[in-house]
Amino acid sequence: MTSNKEKLLAYAITIVMLLIGVVGYAAFSEKAPDTPYRILFQSMAGKVQFDHMEHVGDYGLACNDCHHNLSEGEKEPETCGSCHLPDADDPIKRSEAFHNQCIGCHKDGGPTKCNGCHLL
């Protein structure tokens, strides 16, 4: 059997190690990137994983190619609903907007079939 001193020492070491881990994580955690790496869109036809870095870095797309109302120097795009009001007489559906935006570019290259983007 272990003595109370050994148990107390084990608890103390555990607590100290836990504190070191928490403080180390808080002090040295990575800063969130300015540009997201991947974005996951929810969809009735299956989730769509959009690799932001691939489209911007590899294909050389500018922010305004997708975020069409992004002002010069603005880093954070507004939500689509801030301009395309959901209570308008004829609101464009979110799925239609993405399909128009994405499929338009993908005609020149990239997946064009549903399962090329939708994770079914």
Q: Looking at residue 31, what is its pLDDT?
A: 76
Same domain? For 90 and 58 the reply is yes
Domain count, the chain: 2
Supply the range of the domain harboring residue 15: 1-30
Q: Looking at residue 33, what is its pLDDT?
A: 66
Same domain? For 62 and 12 the reply is no
Name the stretches of the chain with pLDDT < 70: 1, 33-36, 120
What is the rounded radius of gyration, in angstroms, for the C-alpha atoms of the chain?
24
Rounded to 5°, the CA angle 37-41-46 comes to: 125
Domain-located, residue 74 = no
Over residues 48-69, the pLDDT tens digits come to: 888 888 888 888 888 888 887 7
Q: Which residues contact 66 (CB under 8 A, 6 or more apart)?
A: 55, 101
Same domain? For 8 and 47 the reply is no
